[in-house]
Chains A and B, each alone.
Chain A
Amino acid sequence: MTAVLEVAELCKRDEGFVPVDGVSFSLEEGEMLGIIGPNGAGKSTLFHCLVGLTAPESGEMRLDGQSIRGLRPSEISRRGIGSASAVPQVYPSLSVRENLVLAGQERRGSMLGRLFGPSDAGVAGVAERICVYFRLDAHAETPAGELRFEEQRVLDVAMGFVGAPRVVLLDEPTSGIGPAAQRDLAERLRGLNAEDRASFIVIEHNLEFALALCTRILVLSEGKIVAEGAPEAVRHDPNVIEAYLGH
């Protein structure tokens, strides 16, 4: 197996951020990795570093062996990292279909090509497939702002997967949605992994969701990885219990 994403000794200790302090891990092709930890563990800071929204002070991040540290978020996205942040950020006035096309169009062709090419940039088919897969097709023409919160969450996650990214990073995908919607989401994500060998990282406060979905778990506490392993092993790890109970 080859590593799709490698992170080595990543540090972010600036004021205003929950610190990340020397985090190293790698993600294999087709892997579902969970990064869990209590509030204040540095999960969101790590997410922001990986998608390029904030610059780490030291360390390295590589996608398919190429360094992505210091690149703009848009460049990181085009190189193959899809993402969905903790608060769903869909475009309320665009329809569900338009949101999905938007999420894929910049990964295709050049800027000039997009100006002179078709208005869907050739991604309508892919967007349609994702739309059906995430069961949003009944609302395809609905402005995303009119969807219920749980549907907006699903759309936001779906947008991360349009255009065949190499890795998708999901920050707190279960926050604000109920147990039934959480089960549905886990089932969709598991299916994508089984069918397309989609690789993704779920960054979660919600222990049960991550342990049930992911094949490997990293535990983050106070900016450091304190445990790593299969879900069942992590569940009984004294470091994990300490990290969660200590907060």
Chain B
Amino acid sequence: MTALRRRAAIAAALLAFAVLLLAPAWLGADGLHLVSIWSVTTIAAIGLNLTVGFSRQVSLAQGAFVGIGAYLAAVLSAKGWPFATVIALAGLLCLAIALPLGHLCQRSHRHGLAMGTLGFAALVHLFLAGEPWPPDASSGIAGILGGGILDGAHSGGAGFHRLCVLVLALATLLVWRIMRSPWGRALQALRENPGRAETLGVCVPRYVLAMFAIGAFLGGVAGALYAPLMPQVDPSHLTFELSVRLLLIVVLGGGGYLLGPFLGAGLAVLCTSWLGLSDEGGDMVLAVAALATLALRPAGLVALAKRAQRPPPAEQAP
């Protein structure tokens, strides 16, 4: 990317976030609520993209991390903990779980991460569904109500909307920073030729683990933000199906691209909200769209956007 194009991209990103922050001035409560849900879904998908897109590994645990974050937020908010602390704790708890989980998963098998996270997601699902514990969770937890930033969060409160957009901006900044650092180069090396990356000193499992853990942190943060957006939190709905939905979102948007999760999550939110589809109906549309993407344009929606902005190729010199 040339310096000029990079500056243009940064300017466009800043403008987009400014517009999102100012959205309460021109968007109604329903619209704000929708944009908040899109922001939170995007944060979770950005986290998954670190593993699926940037490290070329499959994780089926991202929905479980979102579920854990949502559950922790519901429990701690009910006890009156400040919400900023709750968000940070949700992220850190998921990070602390992901480090040993990712380490153990990668020890023996090439597809260890995919299989291990599948098992982990199933386990979290059972726990959050109230089996065997806690006994009163099976019907879900009453939504988070509170003053201050949480005021009217599940019905399109402007303060909470701004918080979601702000966290989304920070998550984007974090990933942008990673990609611009030597990590970005090492990750490209391990995607394109892991054997050569190793002989050049790139410890592949350590990079994969770091990206998985940072992704889990973002999943937990997204979960904590998701809980107040719902009138009723049933974290068991936020585990396995959500893992699959987030995978579809990343594949559809364009794995390995910073912009991919934004586009994929946008389509997912459109499917369930504006088209008036149920979650299952929305997932079906996403699944079909993801299949079509893999068949026609593996780089996802990002590739369509790039094609639109790029001038037609110059004539080949004879």
Contacts and interface: CB of A to CB of B under 8 A. Distances in A.
Q: Do A and B bind each other?
A: yes
Interface of A: 51-53, 72-75, 77-78, 83, 85, 89, 91-94, 98, 101-103, 105-107, 111, 114-117, 119-121, 159
Contacts of A83: 199
Contacts of A85: 196, 199
B230 to A, nearest CB: 34
Contact of A74 (B177, B178, B185, B198): B198
A115 B188 contact: no
Interface string B163-181: 0000000000000011011
B199 A77 contact: yes
Contacts of B198: 52-53, 72-74, 77
Closest 7 CB pairs of A and B: A106-B201, A73-B198, A77-B201, A89-B196, A74-B203, A121-B182, A114-B182
Interface in B146-195: 177-178, 180-186, 188-189, 192-193, 195
Interface of B, secondary structure class, is helix
B202 interface: yes
B178 A106 contact: no
A119 B201 contact: no
Contacts of B203: 72, 74-75, 106
A91 B206 CA distance: 21
A91 B193 contact: yes
B181 A114 contact: yes
Contact of B185 (A73, A98, A111): A98
B193 A119 contact: no
Contacts of B185: 94, 98, 101-102, 105
Interface of B: 177-178, 180-186, 188-189, 192-193, 195-204, 206-207, 210
A20 B196 CA distance: 23
Contacts of B177: 115
B178 A115 contact: yes
Given A74-B203, A74-B204, A77-B199, A117 B182 contact: yes
B181 to A, nearest CB: 5
Contacts of B199: 51-53, 73-74, 77, 83, 85
Given A73-B198, A77-B200, A111-B210, A89 B181 contact: no
A168 to B, nearest CB: 11
Contacts of A73: 195, 198-199
A106 B181 contact: no
Contact of A105 (B182, B192, B193): B182
B201 A78 contact: yes
Contacts of B188: 91, 93-94
Contact of B200 (A115, A120, A159): A159
Contacts of B192: 91-93
B200 A106 contact: yes
Contacts of A106: 186, 200-203
B206 A111 contact: yes
A80 B102 CA distance: 28
B202 A117 contact: no
A102 B200 CA distance: 8
Given A101-B182, A106-B201, A115-B177, 8 more contacts: A73-B195, A74-B197, A74-B198, A78-B201, A89-B196, A101-B185, A115-B181, A121-B182
A116 B195 contact: no
Contacts of A111: 183, 206-207, 210
Best-buried of A73, A85, A101, A121 by chain B (most CB within 10 Å): A73
A94 B203 CA distance: 19
B200 A119 contact: no
A237 to B, nearest CB: 33
Contacts of A98: 185
Given A72-B203, A111-B210, A115-B178, A105 B186 contact: yes
Contacts of B197: 74
A103 B197 CA distance: 9
B182 A103 contact: no
Contacts of A117: 181-182
A89 B193 CA distance: 8
Nearest to A89: B196
Contact of B202 (A51, A74, A116): A74
20 contacts: A53-B195, A53-B198, A72-B203, A73-B199, A74-B203, A77-B200, A77-B201, A89-B193, A89-B196, A91-B188, A91-B192, A93-B188, A102-B202, A105-B185, A105-B201, A111-B206, A114-B181, A115-B183, A117-B181, A159-B200
Contacts of B178: 115
Best-buried of A78, A94, A119 by chain B (most CB within 10 Å): A119
Nearest to B204: A74
A111 B199 CA distance: 17
A196 B199 CA distance: 22
B260 to A, nearest CB: 18
A155 to B, nearest CB: 12
Best-buried of A74, A115, A119, A120 by chain B (most CB within 10 Å): A74
